[in-house]
Structure formats: C-alpha cells, structure tokens
Amino acid sequence: MEDEERGFLVESEKWVCADEFPHQQYLREYIDQSYENHICSYCGEDKQAVRLNEIIYQVYEALEDIFETPDDTLPFESHDDFWDDLEDAGLHKEGAGYILRDGFHIMNTSEALDEAGFKPRSDKLISDISESIINNSWVYKNLIESTDEERLVSDWERYWENIIASVMYH
C-alpha cells in the first residue's frame, strides 16, 4: 500500500516501550501484548517494545476517529463577495477558503495530537509520530452542521446553478 493511501510513512526502524505513553492506556495495552524485548529508542531501556510503525498506525487510526481532513468535510469558498453574506452567520474563512464555525480552526498534526490528549513522555516521540503522518491539516469531524440560513443560501445557489445550466444546455 502506498504511503499516501495509508496516510502515514512507515520508514522508522525505531522501537518504543509502554512507559513512553503514561496517558494512553490503549497504546500501553497494545505494547504489553508484544512478546518482543528491544531497546526502546526513547528511554534506552531493554524491555517489551513494538516498532514505532505499529504505534504510528494506532495513533493515526485514533486521530481519524476524532478528526478528518478539511478537504473531506469543509465547504470551500474562494469568492469574497459571496463570503460577505455568511460572516454574520458565525462563520469564518481559513486557509485558502475553507469555511469554519467561529471558535474552530484547522490544526496541524501536532495540534490535533495535543487536542486529542496525546501526551507521550518524549518530545522526540511526538515529533517522530507527527512527522510520519502525511496529512498535516485536521478539523473535528461533524464540524459543520448547517444552520437554516446556510441551508437556504446553499439551496438558493443550487437553484440558480440549475437554472443557468438548463438555459445554457437546452
């Protein structure tokens, strides 16, 4: 499977022990099921450990339970004249034109991990995991639930697009 399809790189030859994850019980349990002893690349101790690649997979799966990419979920608007109509609806534009509710923002992987409560002991471990995840833009799932006003604007736009298309192609 290609790295892009998977969502993370699997190049690491590093090993990690359960002690590196004091706040992630699911990772501690996963590592405790391992029957291999290796020197942990982060604490330097010889103990029960798994390859970092396995942890990256587990962390990536956990991230996808909470977050998704802006491209997959957020509406996009690049025209400033249309945007003026929606600013009063409690929305803001971020990045190249993604529309988000006020109080939410697009996060990089490190911010998403922090937001999800991912707190390993080693900053280097956080860095290695963050750098292995290809996607570097995350938003909470189900971030945009349309208000009545937004649905009305969207329906109106769709209506005019259909009218224009029918006039042009009929």
Residue listed under structure tokens 């192609």: 169
Average pLDDT across the chain, whole number: 77
Looking at residue 169, its pLDDT comes to 57
* pLDDT tens, position by position, 36-95: 999 999 999 999 999 999 999 999 888 888 888 776 666 666 556 555 566 656 666 666
Q: Count H helices, E strands: the chain?
A: 8, 7
The predicted-structure confidence for 8-46, as pLDDT tens digits, reads as follows 666 779 999 999 999 999 999 999 998 899 999 999 999
Residue 43's identity, in one-letter code, is: C
What is the three-class DSSP state of 170?
coil
Cβ atoms within 10 Å, residue 159 = 10
- pTM here is 0.69
pLDDT tens per residue across span 89-138: 666 666 666 666 667 777 888 899 998 889 999 999 999 998 888 877 88
Nearest alpha carbon to residue 27 among 138, 109, 118: 118
